[in-house]
Amino acid sequence: MTYANVVATLALFLALGGGAVWAAGRIGTKNLKANAVTAGKIKRNAVTAAKIRANAVTGEKIKPGAVGFAKFASGANLLLSAGGGPVPASASEPIEVPLSGTTTFTPVAGTLDLLSIEAKGNNLARVGTENCEPKIVPYVNGSQWEVAEGLLSPAAVEPTPAQPTGLRPLTGATGPIGLNSPGVTQTIAVKVLGDPDCGAASTVSVALAVTQAK
C-alpha cells in the first residue's frame, strides 16, 4: 500500500466517522434551534425517569386529560376517582351531585383504604348579611359518611382582617372507608344541602378519590 493510499483511506474515515464524533462532542443544547427536537425524533423509551431533572415536569406542563386512571402504573394506590357539579348552592331541597368516574370499590381484609372528598364553591356570594354556607354530605352505601369536624361547607362570610375576601371556597376531608366491611362493595354518593342565603349564581363542585395506604 502506498503512502497515497494510506492518506486517502484516513481522509475517508474522517469524512465518514470523524466528523460525527467531532459534532457529538461540540453540539450542545445551545446549538439547537428552538423546537428542532420533536417527539417524532426521539427514540422510543429513550427518555426515562432517571433522565428527567427533579421537579422538571410540573402540573402546568401536563396536557389536561393526558394522565387518566388507566395510565397509573400497576400497584399505584389510587383505587377510584370521580367528580361532579357544579350544582346550585342555594337550592331549598337536597341535590344529589351527578358523579362522573368510578364510585364503587370492594375493600380487602388487611388493607387501609381512605376516602378523600374535596368540595369547591364557585361564585359564592351572600344574598344579604347572613353567611352563605351550603353543606356537602358524603354517603357510603346509602348512609351518611360522618366527617369528624362536621359537615363540609364552603362559604361566603362577612370579610374580616383575618379573612379579607370573605370567601372560603375550598373544604375537604379524608377518613377510612370499608375497614369493617371487607369484601362488601362500597358505593359513594354526594349530596348538597343548599343555603337560601347564597346568591343565585353560587354553585358547588365535588371531587373524590379512594386510595390505599402503603
Cα 30–chain centre separation? 34
- Residue 139 pairs with which residues in a beta bridge? 144, 189
Structural domains of the chain sorted by starting position, each given as residue range(s) with its CATH number in brackets = 75-212 (2.60.120)
Q: What is the pLDDT of residues 124-148, one digit of tens each?
A: 999 888 999 999 999 999 999 987 6
User: C-alpha cell of 63?
Assistant: 396536557
Which residues are bridge partners to 104 per DSSP?
187
Mean pLDDT of the chain: 79
Which amino acid is located at 49 in the chain?
Answer: A
Q: What is the pLDDT of residues 53-81, one digit of tens each?
A: 655 554 445 554 444 444 444 444 899 99
Provide the residue count of the chain: 214
DSSP classification of residue 169: -
CA separation (Å) from 206 to 29, 110, 122, 171, 172?
44, 29, 11, 10, 10
- Retrieve residue 68's grid coordinates: 387518566
Position 5, amino acid: N
pTM of structure = 0.62
pLDDT in tens, 97-115: 999 999 999 999 999 999 9
Higher pLDDT, 40 or 20: 40
The confidence score (pLDDT) of residue 92 equals 86
